[in-house]
A and B are shown apart, each in its own frame.
Chain A
Amino acid sequence: MSPASDVPPASDPTAASPAPTAASGASAQPALRLDGIHKRLGGRDIVVDLHLDVAPGELVTLLGPSGCGKTTTLRMVAGFLKPDRGRVLVDGRDVTPLNPEKRPSAMVFQSYALWPHMTVFKNVAFPLRLAKVPGAELTRRVEAALDMVGLMHHRDSRPARISGGEQQRVALARALVQEPKLLLLDEPLSNLDARLRVKVREEIREIQQRLGITTVLVTHDQEEALSISDRVAVMKDGRIEQLSPPAELYADPRSEFVARFVGSLNTFDGRLVERADGLSVAAEPGVVTAVRPEDVVILDGASDQAAQLETQAAGATAARPVHAARVLRVVPHGPYAEVMLDVAGHRLSAFRSGSLPAQDSQVTVRLRRPMVFVDGKREQASDS
């Protein structure tokens, strides 16, 4: 079937909603299973006995800082690297010993890797020529793929003559025309400017869901990861720190590393002691308390009530104490502003939309959802 067809390959045409979650995917055979793959390069363990199951039609993102092993993992899936131990299974079939050209996966490279001596059409046609697809069908499929990414008018252009965003879409078409079981995206948006990045990101997600194609994306951009993934695997030192749907990853990080990497954070070195008369921090070795900026609520008149209601809706049994704070600085970011506060000698950042307090004015704040980490691991909160 053609990748340009509007019907997803899944038998159920109503399954246009996001791909299966981890729970529902677990029952079926995973489209991709990484079974304890390990890779050592240059005397360092880059990927450490990594396990990962990706359900059919799911988009899983490997997110992490550079050197965390995410690209190495992807290259082992594509076949450019062979794991030292462990297996890569696609639809239950062990592909570990296979070279990249024999694997049922297609990759979109960070640099797009379009062949400069071929036209856009020939670039996209190349995989089909290798597969000895007959002429008429080849033309039909290439044109369908180019049509899908909206580049039919550039079919005879050389890659150097089209823009970065268009090159990226040609690379995507070249991958999709192969009708791969697995689509691998290696930092596909990092060479695009900010505005285009969001646009192409949405296009990729839309096509991925329409075709229901199992996808693994590698990125260091947390916003990108959160916005298009079904699940995000945050990686650190060759291991998966946390594998969760985006919302859960943000709201419920299981380690300090994940909390810091995904979103912004106010941190206190120790346990937060909040009483009606003020805020203090009880130092304790290995303990860090963190509050997200949007959970530092500035109370003033009308928004006080709203905040109160919000707190109750969030399930807090009792209203948390409020603290006096001084506004140090207000940094507008367009839809919201970052307000720098001094709360009992601690510098806190608060995100706020709507009316903004004046610099040097006195306000009262309430801290919601403090997260406590002991030796980097999340301590299950008992009081909230």
Chain B
Amino acid sequence: MTITPATSADGATSALRRALVGLAAGVVVIALAVFIFGPLVWLAIRAFVTSWTYPHLTPDGWTMDWWGKVFADNQLSNAVYNSFSFAVMTVALSALICLPAAYAFGRYQFPGRRFFLIALFAMNSFPKMGLFVTLASLFYTLRLMETQLGIVIVHVMGTVVFMTWIPAAAFAAVPRSLEEAARDAGAGALRVFFTITLPLALPSILVAVIMSFLASFDEAQGTYLVGGSTYLTMPTQMYRLVEYYPLQIAAVFSILLSIPSVVLLALVRKQVMGGQLAEGFQLR
């Protein structure tokens, strides 16, 4: 058996190869970064410029006027208010309806359990617009069109999957023996739920709350259909902005729209990364 001695030529070739691979990887990473962050940067710059016309590589001038205009515009600030209040109401109603259901799904075996769990998903796989049109005809009869309740109901529909599946998995994951130990220590059933089960499921419930908040915050189609021009939220306002306002106003608005998502997701990053979101969808 022979061992090839490493010549200086071989060393140079491998060094060159490594450099080329490194360069290729760098190009791919930069391209990907531009693809992902490019539009965001462009958007962010847009929000602070007077104008930015074609042949120029840099914006024509800098200004904060667009922000002032957005906050001064009654309709736009009203949309910001609406978005937040609908999201809060949606989360509250959704939690009220879904958390008890989640507990039942997580803790009890009952006929049709799997069917209902899958059915919750089916609602999300359905073409949204078709669902909303059917819903609209129902809402006309029930006089829910252009009402706050109507909008909240539409929003809740979009949060049911998060608010049921994730907490259900969390409730199922609380060991029975922890509850039994509390019973044995002298706590009644209700006490056990509020001192043991709920605190242990809380991180997952928090994730579900935030996912639901964001789902409601970003909901546009259903809100547009049910709310019409009476109740405009930030996403529905975006449609009008693109048509009737300068591009810079839309840029300011989309930055405002993305703030809650970024902040809330950053807050629960650990839980989402830690798999509570993933575990939620592994319920058997």
Chain A interfacial positions (CB closer than 8 Å to B): 78-80, 99-101, 105-107, 109-111, 113-117, 126-127, 130-131, 174, 178
**Residues of B with C-beta under 8 A to A107:** 180-181, 184
State the majority secondary structure of interface residues on B: helix
**Residues of B with C-beta under 8 A to A80:** 180, 183
Most buried by B among A99, A113, A130, A178: A113
**Residues of B with C-beta under 8 A to A127:** 185-186
Interchain residue pairs with CB less than 8 A apart (24): A79-B183, A100-B183, A101-B184, A101-B185, A106-B185, A107-B184, A109-B177, A109-B180, A109-B181, A111-B177, A113-B177, A113-B178, A113-B180, A113-B181, A115-B178, A115-B181, A115-B196, A116-B178, A117-B200, A126-B195, A127-B185, A130-B186, A131-B186, A174-B185
Identify the 8 closest CB pairs spanning chains A and B, nearest first. A113-B181, A127-B185, A113-B177, A130-B186, A100-B183, A101-B186, A107-B184, A109-B177
**Residues of B with C-beta under 8 A to A101:** 183-188
B175→A113 contact, CB < 8 A: yes
Q: How many residues of B contact A (CB 8 A)?
A: 17
Partner among B175, B185, B200 whose Cβ is within 8 Å of the Cβ of A130: B185
Please give 10 more A-B residue pairs, beta carbons under 8 A apart, in addition to A100-B183, A117-B200, A126-B182. Answer: A99-B188, A101-B187, A106-B184, A107-B184, A109-B177, A109-B181, A111-B177, A115-B181, A126-B185, A178-B185
**Residues of A with C-beta under 8 A to B114:** none
**Residues of B with C-beta under 8 A to A100:** 180, 183-184
Chain B interfacial positions (CB closer than 8 Å to A): 175, 177-178, 180-188, 191, 195-196, 199-200
- The number of inter-chain residue pairs (CB within 8 angstroms) is 58
**Residues of A with C-beta under 8 A to B183:** 79-80, 99-101
State the CA gap A315–B68 with chains docked (Å): 108
**Residues of A with C-beta under 8 A to B181:** 107, 109, 113-115, 174
B191→A130 contact, CB < 8 A: yes
**Residues of A with C-beta under 8 A to B178:** 113, 115-116
**Residues of B with C-beta under 8 A to A99:** 183, 188
**Residues of B with C-beta under 8 A to A131:** 186
A117→B187 contact, CB < 8 A: no
- Known A101-B187, A130-B187, A130-B191; contact A115-B177, beta-carbon cutoff 8 A: no
Distance in Å from the Cβ of B178 to the closest Cβ of chain A? 5
**Residues of B with C-beta under 8 A to A78:** 184
Most buried by A among B177, B181, B184: B184
State the CA gap A178–B185 with chains docked (Å): 8
State the CA gap A349–B97 with chains docked (Å): 67
